Amino acid sequence: MNKPISRISSVASFSVTVFMFLVLAISIITANYQKVEDVKVNVQGVTVSKGGPYDYYDKTSSKADFARVKFDINTDLSKLFNWNTKQLFIYLMVEYDNTKNVDNKVIIWDRIIKRNGRKKFNLKKTLNKYLFRDFSLSLRDVKDANLTFVVERIPVMGFFTSRAEYSTKLDFPEIKN
Amino acid sequence: MNSFLKPITDFGKIDFEGQKLAENISTSILVVSAIISLVAGKMLDNMKLAMYIYLFGFVLTVLVVVPPYSFYNKNPVKWLKKSDFKSGNTILKEKPQ
């Protein structure tokens, strides 16, 4: 602390240390674990068809089974926002078992909810945003399929927390041949 | 050190008591501004305000601590004169300073 340059260095270094503890304290007191009360995901139906769109990187897409899920979402997420929430990442995930693999997870729809954006929405008869197919080409022997609505809270500073808010059973149709 | 460089190398130096005072002042301003920014952010639900309060605390610390104000130089070190050691001090004869 003798010369001005060493005083600047000392103040800068200690200010970064204090800032680290400030960020830690903010991330602890604003931890966002509360549940979403009014969320309703209603599955209208699942249809499975053989052969998807042409994909240069996927030569099997003409032989694989693709599922289309039609669903409604009605929710209000405005209570999840506090002063340390930047945005929310919400997604619908299908978890199922089949004979080839267990615990398959496929994300079929997602949306980013910004801090200044709309937080309450009512989607009707929405189709899955991303292709839903299995690794093994066939969706014939799907067991215990569940559709889960997950909300991931993204803070300005601190830890990401994601939590399954709603889960419903998904009935796959019988596939002949 | 060359005498013509002395004004440059000695610029802004403060004495030992002043250094201790500057250390205490910088520590306390930074910690207090961090606590104020945490409380203000929590009360007013405003992250930007909290960050600006902490930034203001940092700038205030730099303005208070870095320039060599006169209250940092109130206890200068009193060196003994060379003439005091002319006879009988062996340490000085071996290592003149």
Instruction: Please judge whether B41 and A14 are an interchain contact, meaning their C-beta atoms are less than 8 angstroms apart.
Output: no
Phi, psi of B62 (to 5 degrees): -60, -40
Residue A176, pLDDT > 80, answer no
CA distance A90 to A162: 9
ipTM of model = 0.79
Please give the Cα distance from A128 to A104 (Å, whole number).
Answer: 17
The pLDDT-based confidence of A121 (bands split at 50, 70, 90) is confident
Average pLDDT of the residues in A17-22 = 96
- Domains of chain A, residue spans: 1-30, 33-170
pLDDT at B63 over 90: yes
Distance CA A8, CA A10 (A): 6
Residue range A69-80: mean pLDDT, rounded: 91
Tell me the DSSP string of A155-171.
Answer: ESSS--EEEEEEEEE-P
Q: Is the pLDDT of residue B89 over 60?
A: no
pLDDT score of A23: 95
pLDDT greater than 90 at residue B8: no
The reply to whether the predicted model has a pTM over 0.80 is no
Extents of the domains making up chain B: 14-74
> According to the model, what pLDDT value does residue A79 have?
87
Interface residue A160 vs chain B (CB under 8 A) = no
pLDDT at residue A71, rounded to an integer: 93
pLDDT for position B54: 96
Going by C-alpha positions, the residue among A102, A90, A82, A99 that lies closest to residue A156 is A82
Nearest to A18 among B12, B31, B68 (CB): B31
**Which amino acid is located at A65 in the chain?**
D
- In whole angstroms, give the CA distance from residue A47 to residue A172: 7
Residue-wise pLDDT for A126-168, tens only, equals: 999 999 988 888 888 888 899 999 999 999 999 999 988 899 9
Q: CB distance from A16 to chain B under 8 Å?
A: no
What average pLDDT score do residues A75-81 get? 89
From residue A7, give the alpha-carbon distance in Å to each of A91, B21, B68. 50, 12, 10
In the sheet that holds A104-114, the strands lie side by side as: A104-114, A85-97, A143-155, A161-169
Q: What percentage of chain A carries pLDDT values higher than 90?
A: 48
pLDDT score recorded for residue A177: 55
Q: Which residues contact B28 (CB under 8 A, 6 or more apart)?
A: none
Kind plus residue range of the DSSP H or E element containing B51: helix B47-65
Cβ density class A104-139: b for 16+ within 10 Å, e for less: bebebbeeebeeeeebeeeeeeeebeebbbbebebb
- pLDDT over 90, % of chain B: 57
List the single residue in B with minimal CA-CA distance to A15: B30
B21 touches chain A (CB under 8 A): no
Q: Do A11 and B62 touch (CB under 8 A)?
A: yes
Rg of chain B on CA atoms, in Å: 22
pLDDT, position B22: 94
Domain A33-170, classified CATH 2.60.40, yes or no: yes
Asked if A28 reaches chain B (Cβ–Cβ under 8 Å), the answer is no
Higher confidence at residue B86 or residue A97? A97
Between chains, do B62 and A8 touch, taking CB under 8 Å as contact?
yes
Tally C-beta pairs within 8 A across A and B.
Answer: 61
A99-A101-A103-A105 Cα dihedral, nearest 10 degrees: -110
Q: pLDDT by residue (tens digit) across A47-60?
A: 998 888 888 888 88
> Rounded distance, CA A161 to CA A4, Å?
44
Q: Which of A27-36, A80-89, B50-59 has the lowest mean pLDDT?
A: A27-36
Interface residue B11 vs chain A (CB under 8 A): yes
What is the nearest CA distance from A89 to chain B, expressed in angstroms? 20
Nearest-Å Rg of the Cα atoms of chain A is 23
